[in-house]
Amino acid sequence: MTTSHEIAIVSGASTGMGAATARELARRGLHVLAGVRREQDGDAIRAAGIEPVILDITEPDQIAALAARIGDRPLRALVNNAGVAVNAPVETLPMTEWRRLFEVNLFGHIAMTQALLPALLRARGRIVNISSVGGRIAMPAYGAYAGSKFAFEAVSDALRRELAPHGVQVVVVEPGGVRTEMNERGAATAGRLAADMTGEQRSRYGDLMRAVVSHADAFTRAGRTADFAAQVIARAATVRNPRTRYTIGRDAALMTRLARILPDRALDRLTAANLRPHFPRPAV
């Protein structure tokens, strides 16, 4: 690993925002350790300034190996980007899925932060946590995903206040719709989970799940590109005086603002109105 460039780590860099962020940070002169799950993903992203590393953030041994790879070098930036999307009603989502989602979207990032904090302290570096508009407002069938992101936002706030006296800054990035492969994977997972519902559950939530998948697809297709998102994330990681939070896309900026100012019942009506056009039309 080169010693002539500052080092950044990006988890979840196989595709989408993570891969685009790795490329953008390398373009800005950092040596990027890009966390990927498979060797072929590493081959696809390998380039000048980008060194793929096999990294599953739910595997302690892989996190420890990455920390050992850094050794006593300073770490300029840690971008906690890895994540999974799961959509299902609270009643129907198996506890194994709840735990898996929180392991990836929350606990894995905490484990990464704990392991790499010594290197970040040496560099007075920066932690960039990729949350979501779902970290500020929870749509129906987003209970598990939004719950993990709400928790990630809270952990980020605590961490920012803990590390500020020691020179390490913590920034949260909240994407709205971004055109990545995550939506397709999430839709496939939602279909699988819907198929496992009981007949009674399908009568309660079947139309809702179809509306949620349709809404997510439209939301994503109208969203920003991964390259645009990467520019926001890279700026959050490198600008001299970052804000505590950045949004990606006008949808995220609007929804996070409304979540701060509207009463709960008004937000309930707003989310219902957003979903209504996506419900199946009654048979004539």
Distance of CA 117 to the CA centre of its chain: 20
Output the six-digit token pair for 75: 């770490």
> Domain-by-domain residue ranges, the chain?
7-274
Relative orientation angle of helices 182-195 and 199-221, to the nearest 10 degrees: 170
| 81 closest CA partner among 44, 117, 33, 131 | 131
Q: What is the CATH architecture of 7-274?
A: 3-Layer(aba) Sandwich (3.40)
Give the whole-angstrom CA distance, residue 15 versus residue 48: 17
* Maximum distance among all Cα pairs of the chain, rounded to whole angstroms: 69
Residue-level pLDDT, tens digit, the chain, 284 residues: 544 579 999 999 999 999 999 999 999 999 999 999 999 999 999 999 999 999 999 999 999 999 999 999 999 999 999 999 999 999 999 999 999 999 999 999 999 999 999 999 999 999 999 999 999 999 999 999 999 999 999 999 999 999 999 999 999 999 998 987 776 777 788 888 888 899 999 999 999 999 999 998 888 888 899 999 999 999 999 999 999 999 999 889 999 999 999 999 999 999 999 999 999 987 65
Q: Is 201 exposed, middle or buried (0-12, 13-18, 19+ CB in 10 A)?
A: middle
Q: Answer yes or no: are the C-beta atoms of 79 and 21 closer than 8 Å.
A: yes
* Res 130: pLDDT: 98
- Establish whether 145 is a catalytic residue: yes
Report yes or no: 116 and 159 within 8 Å, Cβ to Cβ.
no
Which of 142, 145, 205, 246 is catalytic? The answer is 145
Cα–Cα dist 194/252, whole Å: 27
What's residue 181's pLDDT?
75
Cα(271)–Cα(212) distance, rounded to whole angstroms? 11
